Amino acid sequence: MPMKPYKVLCLQSECKNLANFKIASRWSDGGVEELKTYALTCEKCLPAAFAQSFEKHKSCRTIPGEVLESPMIFELHTGRHSNQLVRRTDLEASFIS
Ligand SMILES: [Zn+2]
């Protein structure tokens, strides 16, 4: 039986598009560093998802020693590792006024 290709769907409600972008923040406790994912979204929902991600980001509490950077937009390519994500600072800048 052939394997179905791995697909990531947009997580915005009532949206059935495939996700093209990932919104995530870099989190670190000084030693371990990881990406905290806020949203997976299609291009159409990206502005709304980015705004929601900032709201979620604001409600995240960090303890002393922890660093949580502002949400970033990455192109989502299935089958790639997260350290190969392409960041889209141009899109981020267009949503931050
Ligand atoms: Zn969508």
Domain boundary assignment for the chain: 21-95
pLDDT value, residue 20: 93
Cα 11 to ligand 1 centroid, rounded to whole Å: 7
Cα 61 to ligand 1 centroid, rounded to whole Å: 28
Cα 48 to ligand 1 centroid, rounded to whole Å: 9
pLDDT value, residue 90: 96
pLDDT value, residue 13: 87
pLDDT value, residue 60: 86
CA atoms within 13 A on the CB side of 23: 27
Q: Helix, strand, or coil here: 21?
A: strand
Residue 90, burial from CB neighbour count under 10 angstroms (0-12, 13-18, 19+): exposed
Low-confidence ranges of the chain (pLDDT < 50): none
Going by the DSSP 8-state scheme, the letter that residue 27 receives in this structure is: E
- Count the neighbouring beta carbons within 10 Å of the beta carbon of residue 75: 13
- For the stretch 10-27, pLDDT in tens is 999 899 999 999 999 999
pLDDT value, residue 80: 59
